C-alpha cells in the first residue's frame, strides 16, 4: 500500500514537471518594462519593453462601453511584477496586465474613445494614444467583450433582476473585481452565462422565478459548478440578448423580438446591410489568419480557415459591424465563407465552390443508393386529395392516396419521408367553420285598437199642457208621451259598441251602468267597451348551412 501511494505521488510530480517544461517551451518572450509619457500634441505614448524583439506588430482591438483597447502578446509572460497600473494621463485611465497560459493581454482602460498607432523599435513597442474629438464619435456602442483575464478567484456579491421600460428583462450581477472572465452562449432554448474562476455565496445559489414581471425571462438558475458559476436563463417566445460590463457590474438584457423587427433584419441583409455589433480594427501588414482570430474572439464564434488561406492585410476600420468587417477582409483576399450555427468556414472562393459541388454530388449519389422506406399517414381534418406534395419526393419516390380511408402511403428515402411528415403535421389541422342559419316565418302586420259606447234614456216630462217622452226610438217615445207602457229592452239612444275582429274568440270587454228613479220612472243606461287586437306569426322552417371558413 505504501509503495502504491509513493508510486502515484511520483507520477503526479513527473506529470507536473513535464507540464511546466512544456509551458516554459511555449513562452520564449517576456514583458520587462513600461514607461508612460505625454508629448506636446496631447498624445499619450506607452513604451513596452520586451526581452526579445517582436516578429510582428500585435493587433490592437478597440471596444466601447466601456472604452478599452487591448493587445495580445502570444508566447509572452508578464515579467513586470504587477497586474495593474494607475495612469490618469489624458483619456488613459489605467492599464491591466493579464497572463493566461502562454498569452499576455495588455488592456488600456480609457475615459473616452482614442485612436492608437503602434511602432516597433528593437525590443520596445511604442503605442501612441490620441483622444478623438466628440463630433467624430459615432455614439456609444453597446457591446460586451469576453476578456479572459488572470486566473484568480472572483466573488459574486449580488444577483438582481429588473424589468426595463420597454418590457425587456435585465439581470444585474455585481462582482468583487472587474477582471472576471465571462462567457455568454446559447444552449438549446436556454441562455448560459459562465463566470470563470468565480465564487458564489450560498445565499445567492438559488432559482428565481420571474414570470410575473412580464418579460421574456422566466427562470434564472444560478449554481456553482467547480471553480465557475453557471447561470441558466430560461426564456419564452422569440428573443435576443445583449451583454455588457462596466467596471464590476455585469448586465445581461433579454428582450422580445417582434415579427416586424425580424423582417427588418432580413430586409437589411437582403439590401446589403449589416446588423452585427460594432468594433474598431487597426491592422498594419498582419496575417489574414490573425485578423480572423480577432473577429472570432470578439464574436465568440468558431471560425475555421482552410489550409490555403494566407497572405497579409493592412486595414483600418472604426465602429463598423463585425459582419461587415469580416466581409471586407474576405473580399480583399478573394475568400468566401459558409456559416452553420456558430461555426464559420473560410476558404478561397473557388475552393468553396468546388467543395459545395462535391457535397451536392455526394448527397445525390447517397440519395440514389439509399434504401427506400414506406410510411402511411392518416389525415383527420383534411381530405387526402386537398394537400399537394409536388416537388417533395425524390425521383424514386411514390405516393398513393386512399380517399375512402383518407390516408396516404409514401415510399421514398428517409429524408423525403421526414419532409412529407412535416407538411402533413402543418396542414392537417382543424379548420375553422362558419354556420349560416335562416328562418322562414309566416306573419301579418295587422294591429288595431277600438273603443265603444252605448247610451239610453227613458223619461216622460210635462211641459205646460204637453207631455214629452224620450226613449231609444220614435215608437217608444210616442207611447211614453200618451201614457202607454213601453216594453222592457235596451232602448238605446246611442249604440256604438267596439267591433269584434274576425277570428277572435269572445267579444270586447264592456262596463255597464243603469240609473233608475222609481217615483217618476226615469231610467238611464250607459255601457263602455274596448278591444285591442294583435296578429302573431308562425315559424315555418329554420334551415342551417355549415361551411369551412373562407370557402364559398
In the DSSP assignment, the letter for residue 257 is: -
- Coil, helix or strand at residue 170: strand
Instruction: Looking at the structure, tell me whether residues 388 and 341 fall in a common domain.
Output: no
Q: Could you read off the pLDDT of 12-71 as tens digits, one per residue? A: 343 444 343 444 446 688 899 999 888 877 888 999 999 888 888 887 777 766 788 888
For the segment 165-201, what is each residue's pLDDT rounded down to a tens digit? 888 899 999 988 876 678 888 877 788 898 888 888 8
Q: Which of 26-35, 112-121, 230-239, 442-451 has the highest mean pLDDT?
A: 230-239
Q: How many domains are contained in the chain?
A: 5
pLDDT band at 232 (very low <50, low <70, confident <90, very high): very high
* Residue 140 Rama label (left phi>0; alpha psi -120 to 50; beta): beta
pLDDT surpasses 90 at 81: no
Using DSSP, state whether 347 is helix, strand or coil: strand
Give the C-alpha separation, 381 to 430, whole Å: 5
Angle at 171 between CA 166 and CA 172, to 5 degrees: 115
Asked, for residue 3, whether it belongs to a domain, the answer is no
The verdict on 128 and 210 lying in the same domain is no
Q: Measured in whole angstroms, how far is the alpha carbon of residue 66 from the centre of its chain?
A: 28
The number of beta carbons lying within 10 Å of the beta carbon of residue 350 is: 11
Residue 132, preceding peptide bond in cis (omega within 30° of 0): no
Whether 9 is covered by a domain: the verdict is no
> Which regions of 55-121 does DSSP assign to beta strands (E)?
60-63, 68-74, 76-78, 84-89, 92-100, 103-110, 114-121
**SS3 of 398-430:** EEEEECCCCEEEEEECHHHHHHHHHHHHHHCCC
Beta bridge partners of 316: 282
Q: What is the mean pLDDT of residues 398-427?
A: 88
Q: What is the pLDDT of residue 462?
A: 75
Give the model's pLDDT for residue 268: 58
Picking from 207, 203, 198, 202, the residue whose alpha carbon sits closest to that of residue 178 is 198
- Is there a domain that residue 397 lies in? yes
pLDDT above 50 for 1:
no
- In this prediction, residue 220 carries a pLDDT of 94
Q: Which residues contact 449 (CB under 8 A, 6 or more apart)?
A: 530, 531, 532, 533
C-alpha 101 chain-centroid distance: 40
* Domain match, 358 and 374 both: no
Domain boundary among 265, 290, 309: 265
Segment 142-161 mean pLDDT: 60
Q: What is the pLDDT of residues 132-141, one digit of tens each?
A: 653 244 333 3
**Which residue did the predictor score with more confidence, 17 or 203?**
203
Lowest mean per-residue pLDDT among 64-73, 85-94, 411-420: 64-73
pLDDT at 282: 79
- CATH code of residue 225: 2.60.40.3470
Residue 269: the pLDDT is 57
Same domain, 320 and 393: no
CATH number for the domain harbouring residue 114: 2.60.40.3500
The whole-chain average pLDDT of the chain stands at: 78
Range of the domain at 221: 154-265
Per-residue pLDDT tens over the stretch 463-483 = 777 777 777 777 777 777 676
Instruction: Give yes or no for a contact between 118 and 126, defined as CB atoms under 8 angstroms apart.
Output: yes
pLDDT (average), residues 338-349? 87
Give the span between the Cα atoms of 7 and 1, in whole angstroms.
Answer: 10
pTM over the 0.75 mark: no
Q: Does any domain span residue 416? A: yes
Q: Looking at 364, 390, 408, which one is the last position of a domain? A: 364
Q: Which residue has the cell 513596452?
A: 48
> In the predicted model, is pLDDT for residue 242 greater than 90?
no
Amino acid at each position: 500500500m505504501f509503495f502504491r501511494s509513493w508510486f502515484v505521488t511520483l507520477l503526479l510530480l513527473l506529470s507536473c514537471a513535464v507540464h511546466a517544461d512544456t509551458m516554459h517551451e511555449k513562452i520564449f518572450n517576456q514583458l520587462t518594462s513600461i514607461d508612460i509619457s505625454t508629448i506636446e500634441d496631447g498624445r499619450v505614448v506607452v513604451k513596452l519593453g520586451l526581452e526579445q524583439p517582436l516578429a510582428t506588430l500585435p493587433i490592437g482591438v478597440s471596444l466601447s462601453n466601456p472604452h478599452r483597447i487591448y493587445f495580445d502578446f502570444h508566447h509572452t509572460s508578464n515579467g513586470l511584477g504587477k497586474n495593474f497600473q494607475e495612469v490618469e494621463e489624458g483619456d488613459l485611465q489605467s492599464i491591466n496586465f493579464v497572463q493566461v497560459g502562454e498569452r499576455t493581454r495588455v488592456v488600456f482602460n480609457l475615459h473616452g474613445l482614442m485612436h492608437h498607432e503602434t511602432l516597433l523599435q528593437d525590443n520596445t513597442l511604442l503605442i501612441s494614444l490620441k483622444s478623438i474629438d466628440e463630433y467624430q464619435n459615432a455614439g456609444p456602442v453597446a457591446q460586451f467583450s469576453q476578456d479572459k483575464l488572470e486566473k484568480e478567484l472572483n466573488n459574486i456579491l449580488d444577483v438582481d433582476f429588473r424589468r426595463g421600460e420597454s418590457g425587456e428583462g435585465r439581470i444585474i450581477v455585481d462582482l468583487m473585481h472587474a477582471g472576471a472572465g465571462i462567457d455568454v452562449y446559447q444552449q438549446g432554448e436556454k441562455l448560459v452565462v459562465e463566470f470563470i474562476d468565480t465564487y458564489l455565496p450560498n445565499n445567492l445559489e438559488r432559482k428565481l422565478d420571474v414570470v410575473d414581471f412580464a418579460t421574456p425571462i422566466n427562470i434564472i438558475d444560478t449554481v456553482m459548478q467547480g471553480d465557475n458559476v453557471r447561470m441558466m436563463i430560461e426564456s419564452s417566445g422569440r428573443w435576443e440578448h445583449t451583454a455588457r460590463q462596466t467596471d464590476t457590474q455585469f448586465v445581461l438584457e433579454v428582450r422580445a423580438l417582434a415579427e416586424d423587427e425580424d423582417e427588418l433584419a432580413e430586409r437589411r441583409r437582403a439590401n446589403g446591410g449589416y446588423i452585427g455589433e460594432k468594433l474598431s480594427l487597426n491592422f498594419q501588414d498582419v496575417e489574414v489568419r490573425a485578423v480572423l482570430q480577432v473577429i472570432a474572439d470578439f464574436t465568440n464564434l468558431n471560425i475555421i480557415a482552410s489550409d490555403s488561406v494566407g497572405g497579409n492585410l493592412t486595414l483600418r476600420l472604426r465602429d463598423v459591424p463585425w459582419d461587415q468587417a469580416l466581409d471586407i477582409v474576405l473580399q480583399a483576399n478573394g475568400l468566401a465563407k459558409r456559416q452553420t450555427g456558430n461555426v464559420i468556414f473560410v476558404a478561397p472562393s473557388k475552393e468553396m465552390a468546388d467543395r459545395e459541388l462535391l457535397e451536392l454530388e455526394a448527397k445525390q449519389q447517397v440519395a440514389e443508393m439509399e434504401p427506400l422506406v414506406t410510411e402511411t399517414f392518416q389525415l383527420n381534418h383534411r381530405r387526402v386529395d386537398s394537400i399537394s406534395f409536388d416537388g417533395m419526393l425524390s425521383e424514386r419516390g411514390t405516393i398513393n392516396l386512399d380517399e375512402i380511408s383518407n390516408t396516404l402511403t409514401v415510399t421514398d428515402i428517409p429524408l423525403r419521408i421526414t419532409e412529407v411528415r412535416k407538411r402533413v403535421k402543418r396542414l392537417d389541422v382543424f379548420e375553422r367553420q362558419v354556420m349560416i342559419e335562416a328562418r322562414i316565418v309566416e306573419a301579418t302586420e295587422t294591429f288595431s285598437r277600438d273603443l265603444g259606447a252605448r247610451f239610453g234614456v227613458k223619461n216622460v216630462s210635462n211641459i205646460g199642457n204637453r207631455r214629452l217622452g224620450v226613449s231609444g226610438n220614435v215608437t217608444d217615445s210616442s207611447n211614453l208621451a200618451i201614457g202607454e207602457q213601453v216594453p222592457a229592452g235596451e232602448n238605446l239612444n246611442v249604440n256604438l259598441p267596439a267591433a269584434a275582429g274576425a277570428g277572435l274568440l269572445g267579444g270586447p270587454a264592456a262596463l255597464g251602468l243603469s240609473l233608475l228613479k222609481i217615483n217618476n220612472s226615469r231610467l238611464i243606461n250607459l255601457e263602455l267597451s274596448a278591444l285591442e287586437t294583435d296578429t302573431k306569426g308562425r315559424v315555418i322552417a329554420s334551415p342551417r348551412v355549415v361551411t369551412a371558413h373562407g370557402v364559398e
